Amino acid sequence: MRIVGPIIAVCALAGIAWLGTGPLSLYTLFGVIIPYCAFAAFVVGFIIRILNWGRSAVPFRIPTTAGQEKSLPWIKQNKLDNPSSKAGVVGRMALEVLFFRSLFRNASTEKTEDGIAIGSAKWLWLFALIFHWSMLIIVLRHFRLFLDPIPAWITALEGLDGMFQIGLPVIYLTDLGIVAGITFLFIRRVVVPRIRYISQTIDYFPLVLLFGIALAGIIMRYFTKVDMSAVKELTLGLVRFTPQATVTEPIFYIHIFLVCCLLVYFPWSKLMHAGGIFLSPTRNMANNSRAVRHVNPWNYEVKKHTYEEYENENWEKMQALGLPLDYEHVKEEEPPAEAEAGAAEGAPEAANTEDSEG
């Protein structure tokens, strides 16, 4: 059900779009009203989530250090995996966000009969990277629909994306990439027992949804060939707030309805990792808390056992040892010092101390 459920759900969503724009011809609803609402929901939701995280304090400087720290001048610091400056943090974050640095460390652990074996495992990193980069480029390519004239960088990007000039229309590498990426990530969840065990409905759903979006897009571009001038009229109209939904092909509306579902779903789901990673305290902080004091905004006074109390409790013993003393001894009615005298001999707590604690 965790796997089939999302597939049924996405099919149902696609069905709604087909019903609405095929038999019912609700073009303005699916082409204008829903996209506007979905986009607004995305922007507002995204901001709310970021602000919500931002409201929580960062009491301590807790980077996960993954290399040599800044130390003595002759010891080479690993400035990207263990940054001590803002520039280093920017570098670390860039590596993390653009190239999935941490995921690149991935290894797989297998249990053998009498031990364990740790081996290389770069597949997740590779396909995750292919998927995310493809998605980014595809989103950027779509800007051609919202801008007039089309900026040169988009044309250049399209040229690069279709550089092998295979097929007509030219096949974009990113179209292959996103399908390959999603397929890998999905199959991995279904097939690898460990990953299947930890996967929930909400892990399959976004993959199926994205697959649906990509599929509808690919059908439109390579097979059914929608009326691009009508599409561009609608998309430019949306940007200029003079929308005209003259497109009539349901496949187009299925595509954008699924995109709308993604936009609405995005801020309230795990997909917010896209925003969250920038706020991750184990990655976005410099490891310099011994050199530069970090302030905890909610730091408060706590009850302590002061030296004065300590000295008073141990006064006689300390005096007998000739240790320097700061205070006059204040005797309590029943000095507890005698009761604990046995402890002075060696190891108190010895009964439960198999190893020492450090």
Partner 1 sequence: MAKLPNRTEMLDFDFSLPPEGWMDTKTEFKDGMFCHAVKPEKLETVGMPNAHKWSASDEDWGLPENWKEIILQGMADRLEKYRSFKLFMDVCVRCGACADKCHFYMGTGDPKNMPVLRAELLRSVYKRYFTRAGRMFGSLVGARDLTEDVIKEWWYYFYQCTECRRCSAFCPYGIDQAEITIMGRELLNLLGLNTDWIAGPVENCYMRGNHVGLTPPAILDNVEFMMDDLETVTGHHFEPSFNRKGAEILLVCPSGDLFAEPGTFTFMGYIMLLEHLGLDYTLSTYASEGGNFGFFTSNEMAKRLNSKIYAEAERLGVKWILGGECGHMWRLMQQYMDTWNGPADFLEQPVSPITGTVFENAASTKMVHMVEFTADLIYNKKIKLDPSRNDDWVVTFHDSCNTARGMGILEEPRYIIKNVCNHFYEMPDETIREKTLCCGSGSGLNAGENMELRMRGGFPRAEAVRSVVDRFGVNMVANICAIDRAAMPALMDYWNPGVGIVGTHELVGNALVLDENDHRTMNLRQEELPSARKEKEIADAVAAVNGPENGEGGAA
Shortest reach from residue 299's CB to partner 1, in Å: 7
194-223: contacts with partner 1 (CB under 8 A): 194-195, 197-203
Residue 114 binds partner 1, judged by CB under 8 A: yes
Site string for partner 1, 168-197 (x = CB under 8 A): ------------------------xxxx-x
255-274: contacts with partner 1 (CB under 8 A): 268-270, 272-273
| Lookup: tokens for 337 | 């010092």
Residue 332 binds partner 1, judged by CB under 8 A: no
The number of residues that bind partner 1 (CB under 8 A) is 113
- 3-class SS string, the chain: CCCHHHHHHHHHHHHHHHHHHCCCCCHHHHHHHHHHHHHHHHHHHHHHHHHHHHHCCCCCCCCCCCCCCCCCCCCCCCCCCCCCCHHHHHHHHHHHHHHCHHHHCCEEEEEECCEEEEEECCHHHHHHHHHHHHHHHHHHHHHHHCCCCCCHHHHHHHHHHCCCCCCCCCCCHHHHHHHHHHHHHHHHHHHCHHHHHHCCHHHHHHHHHHHHHHHHHHHHHHHHCCCHHHHHHHHHHHHHCCCCCCCCCHHHHHHHHHHHHHHHHHHHCHHHHHHHHHHCCCCCCCCCCCCCCCCCCCCCCCCCCCHHHHHHHCHHHHHHHCCCCCCCCCCCCCCCCHHHHHHHHCCCCHHHCCCCCC
Residue 88 binds partner 1, judged by CB under 8 A: no
Binds partner 1 by CB under 8 A, chosen from 25, 224, 229, 296 = 296
Binds partner 1 by CB under 8 A, chosen from 3, 65, 126, 176 = 65
Which residue's CB is nearer to partner 1, number 118 or number 152? 118
Residue 91 binds partner 1, judged by CB under 8 A: no
Residue 66 binds partner 1, judged by CB under 8 A: yes
Question: Could you tell me if 239 and 41 are in contact, meaning their C-beta atoms sit under 8 angstroms apart?
Answer: no
Residue 335 binds partner 1, judged by CB under 8 A: no
Among 16-24, 33-41, 71-79, 150-158, the segment contacting partner 1 (CB under 8 A): 71-79
Residue 123 binds partner 1, judged by CB under 8 A: no
Shortest reach from residue 129's CB to partner 1, in Å: 10
Among 34-42, 97-105, 138-146, 168-176, the segment contacting partner 1 (CB under 8 A): 97-105
Residue 60 binds partner 1, judged by CB under 8 A: yes
Residue 109 binds partner 1, judged by CB under 8 A: yes
Residue 115 binds partner 1, judged by CB under 8 A: yes
Shortest reach from residue 341's CB to partner 1, in Å: 9
Number of C-beta neighbours around residue 264 at 10 A: 18
What is the distance between the alpha carbons of residues 36 and 242, in angstroms, rounded to a whole number? 12
Binds partner 1 by CB under 8 A, chosen from 29, 41, 106, 176 = 106
Among 138-146, 208-216, 218-226, 292-300, the segment contacting partner 1 (CB under 8 A): 292-300
Binds partner 1 by CB under 8 A, chosen from 23, 113, 149, 168 = 113
Binds partner 1 by CB under 8 A, chosen from 303, 332, 338, 339 = 303
Length in residues, the chain: 358
Q: Residue 94 — φ and ψ, nearest 5°?
A: -60, -45
Residue 281 binds partner 1, judged by CB under 8 A: yes
Q: What is the largest CA-CA distance in the chain?
A: 98
Shortest reach from residue 128's CB to partner 1, in Å: 7
Residue 67 binds partner 1, judged by CB under 8 A: yes
